[in-house]
Structure 1
Amino acid sequence: MFPKNAWYVACTPDEIATKPLGRQVCGEKIVFYRDGKGAVVALDDFCPHRGAPLSLGKVCEGELVCGYHGLKMGCDGKTVSMPGQRVHAFPSIRSFPVVERYGFIWVWTGEAEKADPALIHHLEWADHPDWAYAGGLYHVKCDYRLMIDNLMDLTHETYVHTSSIGQEEIDEAPVTTKTENGVVSTSRYMDGVMAPPFWRANLRGNGLADDVPVDRWQISRFTPPCHVMIEVGVAHAGKGGYNADPAHKVSSIVVDFCTPETETTMWYFWGMARNFKPHDQELTKQIQAGQGKVFAEDTDILEAQQANLLRNPGRRLLMLNIDSGGVQSRRLLDKLLAAEQTPAQPAAAAA
């Protein structure tokens, strides 16, 4: 259901600031913490002594201490010590490749020797003074692919997000879908429309009139295994739309990391990066709160959808042209899964 040889966002730095964090990613139960030098460590969340979750313990001088009998684990998965016991012969537990980058903790759940940090999805807006970012985390009871489907087809906004970002013109605007260089993109442009409530608030936040027609755009990009970045924005009509001068528009990147937990549950790291008034912290809080409400609406419908699919496993789902983004995204995922399941072929013998 999910590729293992890939980097996934597992948590944010604040989640491991004071104690270990236990989190399941791609079916693997992992404990995250910081060692004595502040580097992130990811180990199998299983004490080799009696099987207690190591995440229920604590970090003492950079070593993970089991909360059951005080066994200490090294960052490499080897047992270090245990009060009054000889434990150096204990077998090592699994250590996962882990990287801290762009304000997130990334973990590789597959073959460790293939874990190249250069493969981590580049986030051009992260750690940049001209951009501001804020987001959150939802635990969602649905297959992560349903969330990808949702984000690659924004037609649902008209019906699910009626009080925030939805408007009838979304239904009426044509959608273009393409796959290039391993990335699926869907785009929609709406000219001469009135901005919905969420975007009216952003126009006001950037000192622009909110009661005039605007040109609006939505460009969703899926990068395997589960990352969707959506360029969104509005510009005063007739000023160039997507290419309008910043003085006439508000635009941002909706950030979506859909990390699988199990086959029917996921960790949804959501947020928005913007390049207008990046130092206005109050505006950042307002956008974060508004976006949180929007994504909560998605969560409600997706969890209900997942429950319905589990009750009806034999029912065939119908596909329309608006589903092309999700369909092409799943094709990329299927290729990754097939590649992992195909055994490596031995090198041909020399003649």
Structure 2
Amino acid sequence: MRVFPQNQWYVAAWSREVGRDLFARTICGEQIVFYRTLDGRVVALADRCVHRRYPLSLGTLRGDDLECGYHGFTYDCSGTCIQVPGQERVPRTARVRSYRVVEQANWIWVWIGEEAKADLAAVPDNHWLDDPGWTMIGGMAPLPARYQLLVDNLLDLSHETYLHAGFIGTPEVAATPIQTEVDHAEQVLRISRHMHGVECPPFYEKSTGFSTPVDRWQDIEYRPVCSYVLHSRIAPAGVLPGDAGGDTGAVHAKILYGITPETEHSTFDFWAVARDFALGDAEVSDFFERMNQEVVQQDVDALTLLERVIADEEKADAVSEHGRVQELSIAIDAGALAGRKMIREMLASPTPTS
């Protein structure tokens, strides 16, 4: 069985990461070099020269062409070799893979899989990251753990009560049941938790000015594997959206994650938070960034530990039938279990879905 679902768009980088300097990143076990052409277009090529497999990311840009730093094989933006040293004829098979890329709202997406199946319309919507009606902060945390652990983490927000107490966690998050829906037509998993008259977590109390009690909604949309959006709503208790769709008494945040496998046991955790309040307020943005970095790091620390535990159990399991502890799931795990099932089905499919 494959480790990573193919025929998928994955977040490869923030737009700010890719420029005229060659930028190397491994996505789903594939080494890729990124750069921008002179007119600003993003190029993604396999990061291995066909001659002696030297990393092209250690080469030099010549205009829009990439020259290998070992023997000078030179490639155009399509990955076709256009020049080799010591001879005029370029071997017909001298080319490296060129990856389809889409730059959208501050994220660069790369297509892993069959190029002919790259559907531009399937790039997940992340417009909040450059929408003038929202203010955004974001970053990326390298995670030395398998991507499935981050998926579990984000689909089961009950851990906020314990792991993120003092930031975004309150007792009501773990105590409130969830609603789970799998939309097979759109390949999207929706998980909702609506809390009424509950404690306002410090994260929102300090940034919105609201005080306890509040109504707090968490509505997750997850499109396996990479795209995760948490639609967060906070309002003074009893303030409900209007009949016409207005919600002037509330504030909203969009918490986005790009869950991008690097290798079988490491992941790029792209994260962002967009808000529709205190727009352009640098002090609020600084607070959001500090708090979110703390929360993300708490997740990274926990999942790094969990990866080591699982890896040790897998080793023990190979030599003893008693090596692994039985995993127990409960009602609140319904969303995470649905996400696991969707990924298993994608991995098992003879023709991976897009």
TM above 0.5, one fold?
Answer: yes
Partner of 2:107: 104
CA distance in 2, matches of 1:242, 1:301: 40
**Greater Cα shift, 266-275 or 119-128:** 119-128
Would the aligned equivalents of 2:147 and 2:261 in 1 still touch at CA under 8 Å? Answer: yes
The Cα shift of 1:153 comes to 0.5
CA distance in 2, matches of 1:328, 1:241: 29
Give SS of 2:40's match: coil
Partner of 1:134: 137
Partner of 2:17: 15
CA distance in 1, matches of 2:161, 2:88: 64
CA distance in 2, matches of 1:13, 1:70: 28
Partner of 2:348: 338
Change (3 A) 1:242 1:334: farther
Instruction: State the Cα RMSD in Å.
Output: 2.1
**Greater Cα shift, 280-289 or 195-204:** 280-289
Would the aligned equivalents of 1:144 and 1:259 in 2 still touch at CA under 8 Å? Answer: yes
* Matched AA of 1:338: A
Change (3 A) 1:225 1:15: same
* Matched AA of 1:133: M
* Matched AA of 1:13: S
> CA offsets per residue over residues 52-91 of structure 1, 9 Å max, x none?
1111223231111223333321111112224555461162
* Matched AA of 2:94: P
Change (3 A) 1:87 1:95: farther
**Greater Cα shift, 14-23 or 254-263:** 14-23
Change (3 A) 1:237 1:263: same
Give SS of 1:312's match: helix
> CA offsets per residue over residues 163-190 of structure 1, 9 Å max, x none?
2011111122111111123211111122
Give SS of 1:30's match: strand
* Matched AA of 1:218: Q
Q: Which runs of 5+ in 1 are unaligned?
A: 205-209, 343-351
Partner of 1:292: 293
**Selected match of 1:51 from 42, 50, 53:** 53
Q: Where do residues 172-211 of structure 1 align in structure 2 (5 Å cutoff)? A: 172-180=175-183, 181-204=186-209, 210-211=210-211
Would the aligned equivalents of 2:105 and 2:127 in 1 still touch at CA under 8 Å? Answer: no
Q: Which runs of 5+ in 2 are unaligned?
A: 318-323
CA distance in 1, matches of 2:242, 2:227: 22
CA distance in 1, matches of 2:207, 2:283: 12
CA distance in 2, matches of 1:111, 1:142: 26
The Cα shift of 1:279 comes to 2.5
Partner of 1:221: 221
The Cα shift of 1:23 comes to 0.8
The Cα shift of 1:19 comes to 0.7
Identical pairs, percent: 37
Give SS of 2:258's match: strand
Change (3 A) 1:188 1:271: same
CA distance in 1, matches of 2:127, 2:30: 29
